[in-house]
Structure 1
Amino acid sequence: MNILITGAGRGLGAELVAEALDRGHGVIAGVRHPELAQEPLAQLAAIHGDKLTIAALDVTDEGGIASLAASLKGQGRTLGGIINNAAVLNARDTQIEALDLQDMLTTMDINLYGPMRVVKHFLPLLTESECSIINISSEAGSISNAYPGDYPYAISKTALNMFSQQLHVYLRERGVQVLSVHPGWMHTDMGGAEAPTDPRSSAGGIISLMEQRNAPQGRFMFLDYTGKDMDI
């Protein structure tokens, strides 16, 4: 399987790249500045060679996304999976009275519109057997468990869950699995030092969801990285 992974330069993204490569998949690792690729990807490139393509991919740049998709199509490349991982978390713990709406606009542009742009342009390349689209969501996006705070991040992930559900309905007759996945509270730059989950464990669970194609038990395509249904 060939897998496109956005936000692949560090944190969960880099661990997803490593896990997929270790399982024998080909990976297109999307990063904003490939010429500045961080050490984890450089090491993986040295080990896995042509199995890893490090590509310029800024999820806010639709022209760049379209250009990359066209380039890969011209090379005869196909995809079996897309993992929309790129995201930001800003205005943390900011009360609504103090919220700068620019933070809201920036977050939606990356966390929601970014995956929409990627799917728009890369869906035609998703032609391998038993394909999957996985949108990295969060428990913060659960309406049932809403809490005050993290407004931009939580609302963007709720909207991302809706996008996943729409894609599921649109693509199910093609046999494309579409999931929103809560990756756990991870020990990354975003999650912080107190987070209990190892991002490599989360990455392993997410790649397994792609490989095993275990459908959620409920109506909604919202799971955690272990395959447990999440409250929508």
Structure 2
Amino acid sequence: MSQPEFEDGKGGVREDAPRFYGRRRGKRLRVQAQGRLEEMLPRLTLPEPGPDERLDPPSLFPSPVREVWLEVGFGGGEHLAEQAARHPDVGIIGCEVFVNGIASLMKHLEAKDPTPDNVRVFPEDARLLMPALPDGALTRVFVLFPDPWPKKRHAERRFINQDNLDQIARLLRVGGELRVASDDANYVDWTLEQLAKRPEFEWTAKALEECRIRPDDWPPTRYEGKAVAVGRPCAFMRFRRKA
């Protein structure tokens, strides 16, 4: 697969950009979805920071927020939109490169609040944003139903890896949570293995069976619905940032 270009804001390609694997576009958007995207996204977009730029997360939102959450790869946006509606005093940054998924989020937001003050969308790879955020800036990070990259030779492409966990550990404040969901048994095992290597995190469950029921404060996604429809069990794992 060829490497997509990452713009540096000047029409060039960022030399320090991590390699991205995956789709950026799917089926052509319908007229209504395209119009919604063009109207809403410019107000919500978080521009890509420069290589040495540092951001102040609370200042990214027009209204005061008591804490900031990050969702990596929000898919269709169901979870993000619902969390934003439930927690209007929490700033949520959603990262997603798939244009059709971003358009889906706009639809879900429009149904709740077409001009939310507590949502910012980073339409790029989350790995380009995380280094620009300060230590302890986040209280929750969500990685929900990421691409499992099931082939062994592709395991290094999985988002839950030691390099990204370095960043997440740095960004989460003590007591904050990393939430990971998957319906892929291998990815669940992989996640538990990767987090077991991290002394900064503690798993909030004692056994995997405790993670089979989605917590009430964890809105469902369409990926969960697809898994349930074909009888695949899901795991909803929470890892707390230790002192």
TM-score by length of 2: 0.49
Which amino acid in the other structure matches residue 54 of structure 1?
A: V
Among 120, 138, 158, which residue is 2:166 paired with?
120
State how 1:168-187 maps to structure 2 within 5 Å.
170-171=199-200, 181-182=211-212
| 28-37 vs 156-165, greater mean Cα deviation | 28-37
Instruction: Supply the distance in 2 between the matched residues of 1:28 and 1:17 (Cα, whole angstroms).
Output: 9
Contact 1:187 1:194 in 2 (8 A): no
State how 1:12-91 maps to structure 2 within 5 Å.
14-24=77-87, 25-33=90-98, 37-41=102-106, 43-44=108-109, 47=114, 49-58=116-125, 65=127, 67-73=128-134, 78-88=137-147
Instruction: Supply the distance in 1 between the matched residues of 2:195 and 2:136 (Cα, whole angstroms).
Output: 24
Which amino acid in the other structure matches residue 78 of structure 2?
A: E
State how 1:69-218 maps to structure 2 within 5 Å.
69-73=130-134, 78-88=137-147, 103-106=151-154, 108-110=155-157, 113-116=158-161, 117-127=163-173, 130-138=175-183, 153-167=184-198, 170-171=199-200, 181-182=211-212, 188=222, 192=226, 195=229
Which amino acid in the other structure matches residue 82 of structure 2?
A: E
Give the aligned partner of residue 224 of structure 1: none
Give the aligned partner of residue 4 of structure 1: 70
Q: Which has the higher helix share?
A: 1
Contact 1:6 1:84 in 2 (8 A): yes
Structure 2 gaps, min length 5: 1-66, 215-219
Instruction: Supply the distance in 1 between the matched residues of 2:179 and 2:227 (Cα, whole angstroms).
Output: 26
Contact 1:6 1:86 in 2 (8 A): no
Please report the RMSD computed on the Cα atoms of aligned residues, expressed in angstroms.
4.1
Contact 1:136 1:182 in 2 (8 A): no
Give the aligned partner of residue 53 of structure 2: none
State the SS of the aligned residue for 1:123. Answer: helix
Say if 1:36 and 1:135 are closer, same or farther in 2 by CA, change over 3 A.
closer
Structure 1 gaps, min length 5: 59-63, 92-102, 139-152, 214-232
Give the aligned partner of residue 98 of structure 1: none
Mark the structure with the bigger radius of gyration: 2
Instruction: Supply the distance in 2 between the matched residues of 1:187 and 1:50 (Cα, whole angstroms).
Output: 22
Which amino acid in the other structure matches residue 15 of structure 1?
A: E
Cα deviation, 1:195-230, whole Å, max 9, x if unaligned, reads 189xxxx9xxx69x79xx8xxxxxxxxxxxxxxxxx
Which amino acid in the other structure matches residue 133 of structure 2?
A: L
Say if 1:48 and 1:162 are closer, same or farther in 2 by CA, change over 3 A.
farther
Instruction: Supply the distance in 1 between the matched residues of 2:185 and 2:228 (Cα, whole angstroms).
Output: 20
Q: CA deviation at 1:165?
A: 3.2
Give the aligned partner of residue 148 of structure 1: none
State the SS of the aligned residue for 1:38. Answer: helix
Give the aligned partner of residue 47 of structure 2: none
Q: CA deviation at 1:68?
A: 0.7
Instruction: Supply the distance in 2 between the matched residues of 1:35 and 1:55 (Cα, whole angstroms).
Output: 14
Instruction: Supply the distance in 1 between the matched residues of 2:96 and 2:137 (Cα, whole angstroms).
Output: 19
Cα deviation, 1:27-72, whole Å, max 9, x if unaligned, reads 11111246972232455275353311111443xxxxx61x312333
Which amino acid in the other structure matches residue 200 of structure 2?
A: L
Residues paired across the two proteins, number:
158
Q: CA deviation at 1:178?
A: 5.7
